[in-house]
Amino acid sequence: MRKKNPAPNPQFISFPFLGVRYPRLLLWVSGLLLAISCSELPKQSSQPSLHEAQAAADYVGEQVCASCHQLEFQHWSHTAHANIFQQATAQTLAARSCEACHGPGSEHLINPTDLNRIVAFTRRSLTPIKQQNAICLQCHRGGKRIHWPGSSHQNNDLSCSDCHNPMAKLSRQGLLTENSINQTCFNCHQQQRAEFRKRSHMPLPEGKMSCVDCHNPHGSANSALLNALTINQLCYRCHSEKRGPFIWEHAPVRENCLNCHQAHGSNHESLLVTTRPFLCQSCHSNRGHPNDLLTTGQLPGGSLPDARLMNRSCQNCHLQVHGSNHPSGVRFHR
Ligand code: HEC
Ligand code: HEC
Ligand code: HEC
Ligand code: HEC
Ligand code: HEC
Ligand code: HEC
Ligand code: HEC
Ligand code: HEC
Ligand code: HEC
Ligand code: HEC
């Protein structure tokens, strides 16, 4: 038979303190307090922080590094940096060779397995991203990187070495981590990789253009890292015939090409955001002549197919949809 109200343990009644009533809680709390106070103790001096190690270290020269890092040295010697650093005048940062990027290395020689003793750029590095990037920016500030501070890549804690690998010549130009710009970007931007595989797409997979034709991965004054001031200015750069001037302008074209087009790829023809006539009907009502939704009989193959659905749909008649220069092209018929 189950007891409804089991008699309380007399031991707990006589000691109503929380800690005694719940002996495990006491252990937890005291353990936590101990951990907090220990974390405030100064770090043991036998394990210097990266900052301390760098302050104490001296430059040892690339020959010393090469004595252990033969393979890295060989790969590196084919890069743009190796070529140009060799010609640097003594005492400049470039003349430090390996140590121009990895910092003075004497402390690293004392204990090479302690990653707190050398500036490193790999995934397991203990060097803060900010410090890694500052090292590259010493020599590469400004230029294309003028908008790096505050860019979405910087804000998302990317390091220069997420896209660049100065240790080997893996790409023809730009010391990238992959053999092409697009491949470098696709490492993280999988969704965009899929967009460029759609039926209609910018000829990027065909090798005719790359992400940096439209984006500056180092940051830009526009949104989405675009390397032009507006989306239309970007598109006009290559599709200059769409710039006009036109006698009869189509307002949405002037406003933003992306009113009707996708930037990367689409499953509708000509990178359109949706198919015609729905594209046109997303803005135009049936004022003037009926262009509302149609019955099944009016669909292609129906009993009375509607001209607005056949072939090029609305553009059977309104063909100059980007704008017209014909004196009577007000409705974009010609
Ligand atoms: C005595 C041999 C030796 C010398 C000399 C030496 N290293 Fe190392 N270094 C090592 C070893 C071993 C490791 C790997 C430690 C590990 O895997 O935990 C290492 C690791 C590194 C790393 C970290 C790699 C990573 O995974 O991020 C860098 C960077 C580095 N060395 C640069 C240098 C530079 C620059 C010099 C010259 C100043 C240099 N090393 C000189 C032995 C050496
Ligand atoms: C222009 C800056 C730069 C210079 C100069 C440079 N490194 Fe590196 N090093 C890097 C970066 C960035 C990485 C990280 C590469 C990656 O992401 O794998 C790296 C990685 C390494 C690693 C880790 C293993 C690897 O290859 O990824 C070692 C070891 C190393 N460097 C040693 C050297 C030595 C030795 C020299 C001189 C011969 C040298 N580095 C010159 C920037 C530099
Ligand atoms: C001591 C100065 C110095 C440091 C530090 C330095 N670079 Fe360079 N870098 C140069 C010089 C000089 C060139 C060659 C001239 C040029 O193209 O601007 C160069 C060229 C490059 C190039 C172009 C290569 C090409 O194929 O055209 C890239 C990319 C690059 N550096 C990235 C980096 C990255 C990433 C870092 C940090 C890991 C770094 N650099 C650190 C001086 C430096
Ligand atoms: C998101 C990827 C990405 C990041 C992050 C990145 N870069 Fe680049 N970088 C590129 C690409 C792609 C190119 C080639 C562009 C071209 O050829 O016009 C390039 C080119 C360069 C060049 C050579 C062309 C030039 O502008 O002179 C330098 C130098 C350079 N980057 C330095 C850096 C430095 C320094 C950082 C970190 C502050 C950095 N990059 C971060 C992708 C990146
Ligand atoms: C290491 C991963 C990584 C690589 C490599 C990378 N990106 Fe990014 N990128 C990000 C992250 C993280 C964001 C911010 C989050 C987001 O919007 O997805 C971002 C955002 C962007 C954006 C949107 C910016 C915005 O403000 O909306 C563009 C455009 C972009 N990246 C272009 C590129 C290009 C071009 C390359 C190749 C040169 C590249 N990325 C390489 C990680 C990466
Ligand atoms: C023809 C020019 C063009 C090319 C080439 C291009 N982009 Fe874009 N991309 C754009 C435009 C325009 C936008 C802005 C879309 C918006 O504002 O809605 C954009 C937006 C983005 C965004 C932000 C998220 C989104 O989809 O809106 C990312 C990430 C991006 N692009 C990555 C890439 C990568 C990676 C490549 C190369 C593989 C690339 N782009 C090539 C024009 C281009
Ligand atoms: C760097 C040059 C460049 C830029 C910038 C550019 N394009 Fe293109 N675009 C091309 C090329 C090249 C083609 C392919 C032409 C061909 O195959 O005949 C193309 C094709 C197109 C097509 C037709 C696709 C098809 O399937 O028929 C459309 C629509 C288009 N671009 C719209 C845009 C828009 C919108 C922008 C701005 C966001 C833009 N383009 C920016 C170079 C560019
Ligand atoms: C009102 C919707 C709309 C807007 C806005 C628009 N387009 Fe188009 N665009 C179309 C349609 C529909 C087609 C396919 C039919 C055709 O060829 O006329 C097309 C086709 C294209 C083509 C491929 C065929 C050709 O004419 O070369 C390019 C390139 C193009 N547009 C560029 C642009 C650019 C650049 C802008 C911005 C200045 C823009 N479009 C704005 C509707 C639009
Ligand atoms: C993003 C909205 C939008 C889309 C999509 C759009 N239009 Fe327009 N269209 C407008 C605006 C706004 C005007 C200017 C209306 C005005 O001036 O009163 C206009 C004007 C016109 C005119 C001239 C009408 C007049 O009163 O002079 C025609 C014809 C036209 N559009 C046809 C089309 C066709 C065909 C398509 C599909 C390919 C299309 N439009 C897609 C917004 C759009
Ligand atoms: C068979 C040819 C034809 C087709 C197909 C066609 N239109 Fe028209 N549309 C015309 C003519 C002709 C006018 C000029 C009427 C006028 O000037 O009074 C016109 C006028 C317009 C106007 C201006 C109307 C106004 O209020 O004055 C718009 C907007 C328009 N059409 C949109 C569309 C859309 C959207 C489609 C597709 C659903 C479409 N048209 C299909 C022939 C056509």
**pLDDT single digits (tens) 112-163:** 999 999 999 998 999 999 999 999 999 999 999 999 999 999 999 999 999 9
In this predicted model, which residue has the larger pLDDT, 236 or 244?
Answer: 236
Instruction: Quote the tokens at residue 292.
Output: 């509302």
Atom of ligand 4 nearest to the CA of 217: 1
What are the C-alpha distances in Å from 170 to residues 79, 215, 238?
9, 22, 29
User: Ligand 9, residues 246, 249, 250, 313: which to mutate, most atoms within 8 A of Cβ?
Assistant: 250
For residues 198 and 185, give the distance between their C-alpha atoms in angstroms, rounded to a whole number.
18
For residues 148 and 141, give the distance between their C-alpha atoms in angstroms, rounded to a whole number.
9
Tell me, what's the pLDDT at 4? 41
pTM for the predicted model, two decimal places: 0.90
Question: For residue 141, which of 55, 219, 221 has the smallest C-alpha distance?
Answer: 219
Of all ligands present, the nearest one to the C-alpha of 277 is 10
DSSP 8-class letter at 201: E
User: Ligand 8, residues 201, 213, 269, 270: which to mutate, most atoms within 8 A of Cβ?
Assistant: 270
DSSP 8-class letter at 70: H
Q: Whose CA is nearest to atom 43 of ligand 7?
A: 238
Q: 89-123: b or e for each residue (b if 16 or more CB lie within 10 Å)?
A: eeeeeebbbbbbbbbbbebbeeeeeebbbbbbbee
Q: Please name the helix (run of DSSP H) or strand (run of DSSP E) that holds residue 224, with its range, or none.
A: none
For residues 258 and 222, give the distance between their C-alpha atoms in angstroms, rounded to a whole number.
15
Tell me, what's the pLDDT at 288? 58
Question: For residue 88, which of 139, 43, 25 has the smallest C-alpha distance?
Answer: 139
Residue 193 and residue 120 in contact, taking contact as beta carbons nearer than 8 Å? no
Tell me, what's the pLDDT at 178? 96
Q: What is the DSSP string of 103-172?
A: ---HHHHH-TT-GGGS---STT--S-HHHHHHHHHHHH-SGGGTT-TT-HHHHTT--HHHHB-TTS--SS
Q: What percent of the chain has pLDDT over 70?
A: 81
Cα-to-centroid distance, 322 and ligand 8 (Å):
6
Atom of ligand 3 nearest to the CA of 176: 29
Residue 294 has pLDDT above 70, yes or no: no
User: Ligand 6, residues 214, 225, 259: which to mutate, most atoms within 8 A of Cβ?
Assistant: 214
Atom of ligand 6 nearest to the CA of 196: 38
Mean pLDDT of 176-200: 96
Atom of ligand 9 nearest to the CA of 259: 1
Instruction: Quote the tokens at residue 250.
Output: 């189509």
Please report how many Cα atoms fall inside a 13 Å half-sphere around the Cα of residue 146, on the Cβ side: 7
